[in-house]
Amino acid sequence: MFTQFFYTLKAYKIPVTLTEWLALLKAMEQGFAGNSLVTFYYLARAVLVKSENFYDQYDLAFRDFFSGLEVPEELFDELLKWLSEETLKLHRDAVDLSALPQHDWETLQKMFEERLREQKERHDGGGRWIGTGGTSPFGHGGVHPGGIRVGGESGNLSAMQIATARKFRQYRKDVTLDVRQMKVALKKLRHLRRTGNRLELDIDESIDKTCRNAGEIELIFHPERKNDVKLLLLMDAGGSMLPYARLVNRLFSAANSVNHFKTFRYYYFHNCIYDYLNAGMQFGERVSTAHLLKNLNSSYKVIIVGDASMAPYELFMENGIIDYYERNETAGIDWLRRIADHFRHIVWLNPNPPRYWQHPTVSAIADIFPMFQLSLDGLDEAMKELTRKFH
């Protein structure tokens, strides 16, 4: 009966899988949600939402799905008028809640719509109609463990109130990236392969083989799984990138502390990549770009970070390098094309939002490399691009 809720979550871009959905249905079947919408709210969030980054979207989806009662406007106005008058209130202690009938949400919704069509007058203290006090599941001022409040003030937190409050806006994925978030994203580049002479026990396969041997123990060993990913990080430093220095530094710290890469190399440039790259932000030790392309094979995964914004001559002309003491015999745009032709897996991360990408040099570079914003969403998409299979 909650199938549409699954599609509502999907519509709000919450990555819910069928396995998680079936787990929720099983939990509900075993009574973990009880008959409380509040309990269901927390149960569904715990089972279906993988990260707090999606809590706000979950609240929006929950509110969208569970507040969609369509009622005749004129009748609803009249009901609210009745309910806004002096009301009867009933204390919870005066009622045995366990004796009240329990209804699932779909049944409650149908019952509420029926009451709206049938009710012709105000009711107080009853157990059926929309009114005040009493034990009816509809109205306010009364008591019922799983009803729909109409008008009045809530005496207890409800799931709709929780969802409407939107307490988790700050958890959305457009927040400033921190090192931990970057590390989680970069770990998606891992590609584990069984290599080397060191063996490890495969417990699952050993158990399976032993069972097939009617209990005669047989241990299965395989070479240990190692990550064979090699990462090259190229970062723009100085100039227009100064406001993003801390952000880029976080990315470097994350990449440097993720110890799963087989090889990690990093170099710096200013505005564009020319004949040389720098081994440090101070631009002291240099390495030839041609030498780098010659010695690094095409299997490296490459991340270039920069705003891609510069004077057009810096990108398109020979000797367009902005440094007064430097010369470049090859135009920057040509070096970028060579890099794109050499490496099979490469992305460009731009700290500026896409609305600023209409600049001539940004557009030209985006035509060469897949460009993503340096945000959590953008980083996730970039990692998907880097792990995409090429034929």
CATH number of domain containing 295? 3.40.50
Q: How confident is the model at residue 35 (pLDDT cuts 50, 70, 90)?
A: low
Token output for 37: 């919408």
Residue 178 lies in a domain: no
**Distance, CA of 290 to CA of 313 (rounded, Å):** 22
Number of separate domains in the chain: 3
Domain containing 371 equals 228-387
**Distance, CA of 136 to CA of 156 (rounded, Å):** 16
Asked if 40 and 162 sit in the same domain, the reply is yes
Asked if 365 and 375 sit in the same domain, the reply is yes
What is the arithmetic mean of pLDDT over 177-199? 64
What is the arithmetic mean of pLDDT over 251-260? 77
Asked if 273 and 221 sit in the same domain, the reply is no
Q: Which amino acid is at 353?
A: P
**Distance, CA of 92 to CA of 96 (rounded, Å):** 8
Helix (H), strand (E) at residue 348: strand 345-350
**Distance, CA of 274 to CA of 330 (rounded, Å):** 7
Asked if 347 and 266 sit in the same domain, the reply is yes
Given this model, what pLDDT does residue 161 score?
59
pLDDT tens profile 304-344: 999 999 999 999 999 888 887 788 889 999 999 999 999 99
Helix (H), strand (E) at residue 246: helix 245-257
Residue 190 lies in a domain: no
Asked if 4 and 148 sit in the same domain, the reply is yes
**Distance, CA of 336 to CA of 320 (rounded, Å):** 14
- Higher-scoring residue by pLDDT: 9, 35: 9
Residue 295 lies in a domain: yes
**Distance, CA of 261 to CA of 281 (rounded, Å):** 22
**Distance, CA of 55 to CA of 329 (rounded, Å):** 53
Cβ–Cβ under 8 Å, residues 296 and 231: no
Q: Count CB neighbours of 19 within 10 A.
A: 7
